């Protein structure tokens, strides 16, 4: 993953069940904190444009549809290379910045296609893996998917956990699972998808976050985007505070990826504000923060065009592949 300085990877640590079982989340307090974020006066004018350009660099531009084809994956990769219309980039004075997205995320079948389309761009390919999205196929089969995607050129692997381990409190099984997935990744970075909408409580979300980090996850991620409830601000407050506690305990920084349901520029700014306030500016770089995004880019482009021209463009002027 790219960043201003290369961070040491989180090596994980032995599972500490006393720490995990001691974690409690006050849902009311978390919800009150989350509710304050969208009500803040947001950044305006050129500051907003700068923040929105930053948001683009933090996107995992994603296509995970059953009707994906090589041609639409290539179009997505072309968009990843040039996510904002050239005339808008020039008008914003950002032509020299080389703005690209953080990564392109696809199924294993399309990893080689995406790697080829992104050659020379520096944009990594992320592959969803381990029986995505349900994670219920046989363990050995799920495990084998990881080195196959790495061999095809994926630099990041988005794995899904077995939700049942969380719901039954089998933290050892969850730790062993994520640790095995991390080992299978080799040099590729592992993003652990917790499917938080299916974990029942914020305490479960916090405990699962901690176990995944102890098992060596480079990122923890909210959702597959396929659940009924995906990324939310209360879940994000819960997860990023576990990241903060983990760094305080171990000295290692772990990344965060909210995914699913983040569709507007205003929502993106809310998440950037959350990261800045809870974790600091270092988590506003693509090696420590990503949006799981498909439709978000369209709205950000529309907001940037409004900044440049004073008018909102029709969505078809900023088409996604």
Q: Looking at the annotation, which residues are catalytic?
A: 158, 221, 257
Structural Rg of the chain based on CA atoms: 19
Q: In sequence order, what are the beta bridge partners of 42?
A: none
CA atoms within 13 A of residue 115's CA, in its CB half-sphere: 16
Burial class of residue 46, CB neighbours in 10 A (0-12, 13-18, 19+): exposed
Q: In sequence order, what are the beta bridge partners of 91?
A: none
Q: Measured between alpha carbons, how far is 85 from 106 in angstroms, rounded to an integer?
A: 23
> Alpha helices of 123-214 — where are they, by DSSP H?
139-151, 163-167, 171-185, 202-214
Q: Of 147, 126, 114, which Cα lies nearest the Cα of 221? A: 126
């Amino acid at each position: 993953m790219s960043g201003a300085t290369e961070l040491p990877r989180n090596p994980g640590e032995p599972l500490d069940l006393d720490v995990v079982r001691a974690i409690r989340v006050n849902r009311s307090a978390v919800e009150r904190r989350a509710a304050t974020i969208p009500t803040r006066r947001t950044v305006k004018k050129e500051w907003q444009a700068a923040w929105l350009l930053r948001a683009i660099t933090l996107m995992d531009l994603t296509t995970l549809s059953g009707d994906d084809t090589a041609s639409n994956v290539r179009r997505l990769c072309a968009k990843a290379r040039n996510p904002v219309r050239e005339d808008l980039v020039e008008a914003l004075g950002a032509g020299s910045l080389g703005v690209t997205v953080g990564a392109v995320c696809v199924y294993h079948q399309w990893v080689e296609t995406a790697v080829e389309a992104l050659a020379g761009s520096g944009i990594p390919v992320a592959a969803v893996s381990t029986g995505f999205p349900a994670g219920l196929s046989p363990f050995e089969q799920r495990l084998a998917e990881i080195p196959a995607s790495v061999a095809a050129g994926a630099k990041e692997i988005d794995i899904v956990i077995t939700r049942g381990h969380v719901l039954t409190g089998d933290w050892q099984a969850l730790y062993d699972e994520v640790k095995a997935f991390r080992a299978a990744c080799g040099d590729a970075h592992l993003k652990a998808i917790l499917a938080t909408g299916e974990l029942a409580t914020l305490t479960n979300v916090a405990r699962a976050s901690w176990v995944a980090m102890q098992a060596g996850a480079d990122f923890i991620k909210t959702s597959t985007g396929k659940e009924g409830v995906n990324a939310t601000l209360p879940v994000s407050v819960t997860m990023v505070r576990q990241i903060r506690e983990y760094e305080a305990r171990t000295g290692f920084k772990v990344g965060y990826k909210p995914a699913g349901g983040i569709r507007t520029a205003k929502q993106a700014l809310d998440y950037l504000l959350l990261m800045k306030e809870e974790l600091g500016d270092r988590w506003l770089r693509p090696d420590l923060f990503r949006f799981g995004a498909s439709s978000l880019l369209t709205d950000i482009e529309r907001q940037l065009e409004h900044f440049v021209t004073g008018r909102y463009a029709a969505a078809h002027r900023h088409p996604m592949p």
